[in-house]
Amino acid sequence: MPSPRLLDQVRDRLRVKHYSMRTEDTYLHWIRRFIFFHGKKHPREMGGAQVEAFLSHLATSARVAASTQNQALSALLFLYREVLQVDLPWLDGVVRAKRPKHVPVVLTENEVRALLAQLEGTRWLVVSLLYSSGMRLLEGLRLRVKDVDFERHEITVRDGKGARDRVTMLPVRLVEPLRSHLARVRVLHQRDLAEGYGEVHLPFALARKYPRAGRSWIWQYVFPSGSRSVDPADGVIRRHHLDEKIVQRAVAAAARAAALAKPASPHVLRHSFATHLLQSGYDIRTVQELLGHKDVSTTMIYTHVLNRGGRGVLSPLDRIDPGPAPDK
């Protein structure tokens, strides 16, 4: 039997290690580009010089961002270490591009209120939940029914960034809207079951361990897609979660309608959540836990955008009475 093609080996190894479908697509993209860049030469015949040349090309000719260049490097490191099992000295010596440090965009509470006023229905509920809980967009869209605890006002985020679970808040104001939404989702699920569908994708090996769990109510997505589709992983027709682009476009349109003078996205709402908690007096360790940051230094960036000016310092001009403003 012929050995599997290289990209198939990469795909299989990624799935064994439980990488997400998005990471799988990204890694395969960069490995494919690396091979084509060097004239379809097999990676076993290449080494550090070829990797450095490819990364330099991305930075100088393709002019990609530092984060994109690091993404390509991560894909190539995975190829050599995990698939080809080649541990060469240059792997540790390859320098990652230094990412520039930017202060995050943060909306004021009034701007968040204006943004939400331009949304309605499921889009309003998703965006409100993202802002009120600090979840990343995909964390919110991947929520299962079982992860929402109405009595404790808690949401459990499963397999978040870094493959870590965490608990965040479910605001009281969203309890009834979310209950009503789930009642409609349940009707949709029952209709799918009646038509011979109703199975949802299960993470890891749960589908083999619990064959009927994928059709149960508790495993359904809180925000399901409006239509069923073929799962590319196994060809089964399922109802996936709501497409992230729908939420991204809804936030962008709402920001335009609200005439916000800042770029707005679902992730900006996460920044705003953290900053507003710090403004309210919550300690940074609590905010770190709610955001799921591994290191508190990541959370510290939000102390730089509090509403009292740079680094929370009061300007000396605000301490004196400079007199009337000069005439123009």
Q: How far is residue 205's CA from residue 53's CA, in Å, rounded to a whole number?
A: 39
Average the pLDDT over each of 45-59, 235-249, 256-270 and give the range with the smallest value: 45-59
Residue 41, domain member (yes or no): yes
The answer to whether residues 160 and 71 belong to one domain is: no
User: Given 161, 215, 228, 240, which residue is catalytic?
Assistant: 161
The owner of tokens 């900053």 is 275
Q: Does residue 37 register a pLDDT over 50? A: yes
Verify whether residue 101 is a known catalytic residue. Answer: no
| pLDDT tens digit sequence for 77-132 | 899 989 998 876 665 555 556 666 777 899 999 999 999 999 999 999 999 999 99
Q: Which single residue is written with the structure tokens 């802002």?
A: 131
pLDDT for residue 309: 44
Do 88 and 110 share a structural domain?
Answer: no
- Same structural domain, 109 and 240: yes
Nearest to 131 by CA among 269, 249, 260: 269
Which is the catalytic residue, given 33, 228, 267, 304?
Answer: 267
The answer to whether residues 262 and 148 belong to one domain is yes
Overall pTM > 0.75:
yes
Examine residue 58 and state whether it is found in any structural domain, yes or no.
Answer: yes
- Whichever domain contains 316, its CATH number is 1.10.443.10
* Catalytic-role residue among 142, 166, 239, 270: 270
In a domain, 84, yes or no: yes
Does 84 share its domain with 49?
yes
139 and 252 housed in the same domain? yes
Residue finishing a domain among 93, 126, 151: 93
268 shares a domain with 126: yes
CA distances to 68, 149, 179, 296 from 145, in Å: 34, 9, 11, 30
Q: Assign residue 63 the CATH number of its domain.
A: 1.10.150.130
Task: Report the percent of the chain where pLDDT is more than 90.
Answer: 52
How far is the first Cα of the chain from the last one, in angstroms, to the nearest whole number?
84
Residue with tokens 């399901």: 224
Amino acid 322: pLDDT:
58
Asked which of 41, 63, 93 is the last residue of a domain, the reply is 93
- Give a yes or no: residue 56 inside a domain: yes
Q: What is the pLDDT of residue 310?
A: 44
The total of structural domains in the chain comes to 2
pLDDT of residue 89: 65
The verdict on 51 and 142 lying in the same domain is no
**Is 197 a residue of the active site?**
no
Q: Based on the fold, state whether residues 156 and 11 are members of the same structural domain.
A: no
Packing angle of the helix pair 109-116, 244-257 (nearest 10 deg): 110
- Cα distance between residue 303 and residue 305, in whole Å: 6
Q: Domain containing 16: what range?
A: 6-93
Q: Assess whether 293 carries a catalytic annotation.
A: yes
Residue 137 near residue 266 (C-beta atoms within 8 A):
yes
Which tokens in the block code for residue 47? 């080494």
Last residue of a domain, one of 37, 59, 93: 93
Query: Catalytic residue among 136, 166, 181, 238, which?
Result: 136
Instruction: Round the average pLDDT of the chain to a whole number and report it.
Output: 86
Respond yes or no: is residue 270 known to be catalytic. yes
